[in-house]
Amino acid sequence: MAQNLLGIDLGTSGVRAAIFDDSATLLGLGTRQYSIQSPMPGHAEQSPEEWWKLCAEAVRDALKAAGISGGDLTGISFSGQMHGTVLLDDYGDPVSPAIIWADRRSESVLDEIEETVGSERKEKMIMNRAFPGTQAATLVWIKHNNIPLWRKTVRVLSPKDYLRFRFCGYYHTEPSDASATLLFDIDLRDWAEKVIDSLGIPSGWLPFVINSDQMVGETEDIEEETGIPDGIPVVMGGGDQPCAALANGVIEPGSLLLTVGTGGQLFAPLKVPAASPDYSLNTFCHLTDSRAYVMGATLAAGMSLSWFRDTLCKGSDFASLSDEAATIAAGSDGLRFTPYLTGRRSPVLDPSASASFSGLAITHERGHFVRAVMEGVAFELRENLEAMRTMGVKVDHAVCSGGVLNSPVWLEILANVLDLPLKLSERQEQASFGAALIAGIGSGIYSGWREAAALADSTTKSIEPEPSTADYYNEIYESLKKAR
């Protein structure tokens, strides 16, 4: 008899609850959308209570779509947006809105954090630069700027860990999310006590750390809201990027995941943790017990195309814009775009960087602008790939996922700019499927990471770079590097 696994992904724009059987077939899906609140410029917040309410609704929808009851589940696990901060009181109730990864208010404390953790970096504790929206930066900002909120706080959780707390009542986290707080010793896979003390953060606020595939408890007192009775195993889970990587079988060194959705990411597993030169990329813990990964990101990938459509092409859809871009020659006849609508993350950290078009001529039409946006995102990802290669990362292809799969021309641009074959993921769900696989490991259905990852390969189509186009894009890339 098939066993059923529930994977819940708490994203930035919505929550997805997906039920799979043990052979990786999607049985039922429930989704709910929510928005980012910005009460002041640079602030990005969401309501933990809204997360919970909408998650419960999505779970009920998934159970109904799958045609099963909550008691038919074998295990539950979680994926979620990384870096965010949920502040709780002694009863586990939120004392404020969650401050998420997109929040910029903590820019003012980055220098202080860098000075504090600089000596610890030499001991390989912290392998990342401080950047806004991380728990470390958010907590230091609150300590300096919101004393009443600081005094109300008793515990701190990452977003998906709060959701799991609501399912089973335990305050825990796991290495993939903990390492993204910038308060975690990636080598030892435990809290970096010297860093935490130096920043003046009470260590008792931080949750206990256990492995991603470990069962943490069982569901309790949520049946009325979710339809799931007491006693269903709850497994830790992981951050959304590591879960999406698992969902595509990217757990071993030599593999690469390229995701282009709202943002754009390159994700490469490492055999052992290693910092990138000048900390230009992010190094965090992967889901498996000993692996880490290095990631480069552009914050506004699909977001750039959405902005262009919504601002300048009202009434147009993405498919028609993509078709227009396909009629334009590689290089967009000299029109260039820098995709820094929300600043830069890597390989150059510059929260204040702004987007721009350059090289504009009277001959340029709308299709040129669309293609220039796509190429600008691709060149930014190429720069991240080159930074990975300086670390010795070697890959001969990338597994590609995200909304970009709906744009053949953008896929061709990416293959040629990166000069890599792209294997196209056909996985219907990404992070939620990764979470379901983790639930399967933690509840004993799968023997371990390799068996779970073996179920993940869903690539049957690929795109090869065209040599002359790849060479031309390489010339443009080199000229862009010189101009920066």
Q: In this predicted model, what pLDDT tens digit does every residue of 38-61 receive, in sequence order?
A: 999 889 999 999 999 999 999 999
Q: How far is the C-alpha of 353 from the C-alpha of 344, rounded, in Å?
A: 6
pLDDT at 423: 93
CB 339 within 8 A of CB 379: no
| N residues, the chain | 484
| Confidence check: pLDDT of 314 > 70 | yes
Task: Give the pLDDT band (50/70/90) at residue 261.
Answer: confident
> Exposure string (b/e) for 61-73, b if CB count within 10 Å is 16 or more?
bbbebbebebebb
How much is the average pLDDT of 189-210?
94
Q: How far is the C-alpha of 83 from the C-alpha of 425, rounded, in Å?
A: 26
Element (H, E) at 285: strand 282-285
Three-class secondary structure of residue 347 per DSSP:
coil
* Separation in Å, CA 134 to CA 111, 182, 196: 14, 7, 14
Could you tell me which of 218, 103, 234 has the C-alpha nearest to residue 160?
A: 234
pLDDT at 98: 98
Q: For residue 273, say if its preceding peptide bond is cis, omega within 30 degrees of 0.
A: no
DSSP summary character for residue 279:
G
| Confidence check: pLDDT of 198 > 70 | yes
Residues in a beta bridge with 331: none
pLDDT at 122: 45
Full-model pTM: 0.91
pLDDT tens per residue, range 160-170: 999 999 999 99
Q: How far is the C-alpha of 216 from the C-alpha of 274, rounded, in Å?
A: 29
| Confidence check: pLDDT of 234 > 60 | yes
How much is the average pLDDT of 316-325?
95
pLDDT tens per residue, range 95-129: 999 999 989 999 999 988 988 776 555 445 678 88
Q: How far is the C-alpha of 106 from the C-alpha of 313, rounded, in Å?
A: 34
Q: How far is the C-alpha of 150 from the C-alpha of 153, rounded, in Å?
A: 5
DSSP summary character for residue 275:
P
State the DSSP string of 103-118: --GGGGGHHHHHHHHH
Could you tell me which of 279, 259, 257, 276 has the C-alpha nearest to residue 268?
A: 257
CB 242 within 8 A of CB 78: no
How much is the average pLDDT of 198-208?
96
How much is the average pLDDT of 299-319?
93
How much is the average pLDDT of 10-18?
94
pLDDT at 263: 87
pLDDT tens per residue, range 138-160: 999 999 999 999 999 999 999 99
Q: How far is CA 93 from the centre of its chain?
A: 26
Average pLDDT value over all residues in the chain: 93
How much is the average pLDDT of 387-398?
93
Rg (CA), the chain: 22
Task: Give the pLDDT band (50/70/90) at residue 366.
Answer: very high
